[in-house]
Structure 1
Amino acid sequence: MVYNFEVEDHHNYFVSNDGYLVHNACSGVPKKQKNALPSPASEANGALHSIIEKPGAQGQYTTHFGDGTWKQYRGSGKNHGNVPRPNLKETIANEVNGKKFINGTKVREPLPGEVPK
């Protein structure tokens, strides 16, 4: 389940017993190019974390998993081919001999727990 909220006086914060780092997008950060994936937050040091670009079910967030893979929830905008919004874009990764290879992306409907409230 995904919730959107802000923590007063904190730009980054850890949530859950697993210590997920959450990073709020802010006005002091240069805008990314349209349709570009936000870079992982350097302060996450490779740990799993999400960047909330626009809160709410019509918004957008990206979760970086720390291994080069990611998923991006997109609540509004144009459909992606035959997949309507909201949708979720994520990396396709394969493992060969213990090494993970990222070889593209796929777009799908989000699961109920992936839609922000």
Structure 2
Amino acid sequence: MKVIIKTKAFMKIYNFYLNVAKKYKHAWSMEESIRHVEKVTQEAYKVGTQLSKREPYFRPNWRNYSVDYSKATGWYFAYRIENDTIYVEDAENYRNMSNLINPN
């Protein structure tokens, strides 16, 4: 299957690590941020096949998508499948999701 990471998903990943590098200048370099962006985007290519499935109930705007979680990176990926192509529509780090997850 072909995997396409939409710009919105990529920018969420990129901006997350950019903000980390800005906030923690004394402990986090831009090079480290770029490595993390690359690691997460590589993990996104496992969507629909190798990652843990999750219910999209905790993000109302993800209800029409399938959701996978990467334990290796701590990122959730919202995606849809059309024919032989997986479109990664959105991404969110678990730290930003913790207040949205329904414990029931």
State the TM-score bracket (shorter-chain normalisation). under 0.3
TM-score for both structures, normalised by structure 1: 0.22
Q: Which has the higher strand share?
A: 1
Bigger Cα Rg: 1
Q: Which has the higher helix share?
A: 2
TM-score for both structures, normalised by structure 2: 0.23
